[in-house]
């Protein structure tokens, strides 16, 4: 079973995804964010997520999602979240056109990473649930980097949703099955 749980900020998507796996026993919880010791607010958010997880869940901090999905392990996987994953991959690829370190081949390298992830989703033998943000329903971002992120996030979400068996939209804490 491959699932996508999508919604806006603070819509309840992580809680909903965690609830889907509450009785699964051992779960590989893949955290895609980087630790930021200098950011107390971010630390509080991470602590809240950690505090909700059952003791049997294993935390894996990585951006190498294809490797996790390729493991021969019966434990289901919860990846939280694709939005942070994409942001960090854009960083690694030097894709931000307004920042130093921008690379002319960034788009090509980004698309390779996304293709690898989508192929891993399609071929995994593990149950996997993805959490992601819907970022395309607001205003058009004013910056080139903002528009790049919004566009690439929409493309990634659509491709992963296509590869999943189920897709759920969380609105005001309420789940709506899309697929």
The tens place of each residue's pLDDT in the chain, 179 residues long, gives 999 999 998 899 999 999 999 999 999 999 998 888 898 897 888 788 788 888 899 999 999 999 999 999 999 999 999 999 999 999 999 999 888 888 889 999 999 999 999 999 999 999 999 999 999 888 899 999 999 999 999 999 999 999 999 999 999 999 999 99
Bond preceding residue 81 cis, omega within 30 of 0: yes
Q: Structural domain tally of the chain?
A: 1
Which entry of 15, 49, 71, 122 is annotated as an active-site residue? 49
pTM of the complete model:
0.93
- From edge to edge, which strands make up the β-sheet containing 28-31? 58-61, 28-31, 77-80, 128-133, 2-7, 166-171, 174-177
pLDDT of residue 49: 78
Q: Which range marks the domain in which residue 140 is found?
A: 2-177
pLDDT of residue 52: 83
Count of residues in the chain: 179
User: Rounded to whole angstroms, how far apart are CA atoms 28 and 43?
Assistant: 21
Kindly report the number of other CB atoms within 10 A of residue 153's CB atom.
20
To which H or E segment does residue 4 belong? strand 2-7
DSSP string covering 12-60: SHHHHHHHHTTTSSS-EEEE-SPP-TT-HHHHHHHHHHHHHS-TTPEEE
pLDDT of residue 36: 83
User: Is 49 known to be catalytic?
Assistant: yes
What's 171's domain CATH number? Answer: 3.40.50.300
pLDDT of residue 47: 82
Please, how many CA atoms are within 13 Å of residue 150, restricted to the half-sphere of its CB?
Answer: 14
């Amino acid at each position: 079973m491959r699932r996508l749980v999508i919604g806006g900020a603070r819509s309840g998507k992580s809680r909903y995804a965690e609830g889907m796996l509450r009785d699964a026993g051992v779960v590989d919880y893949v955290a895609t964010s980087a630790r930021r010791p200098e950011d107390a607010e971010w630390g509080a958010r991470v602590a809240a997520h950690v505090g909700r997880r059952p003791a049997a869940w294993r935390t894996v901090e990585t951006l190498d999602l294809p490797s996790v999905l390729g493991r021969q392990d019966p434990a289901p996987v919860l990846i939280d979240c694709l939005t942070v994953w994409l942001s960090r991959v854009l960083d690694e690829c030097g894709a931000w056109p307004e920042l130093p370190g921008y690379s002319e081949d960034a788009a090509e390298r980004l698309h390779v990473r996304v293709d690898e992830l989508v192929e891993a989703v399609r071929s995994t033998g593990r149950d996997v649930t993805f959490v992601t943000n819907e970022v395309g329903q607001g205003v058009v971002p004013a910056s080139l980097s903002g528009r790049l992120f919004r566009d690439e996030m929409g493309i990634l979400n659509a491709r992963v949703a296509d590869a999943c068996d189920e897709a759920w939209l969380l609105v005001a804490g309420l789940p709506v099955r899309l697929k």
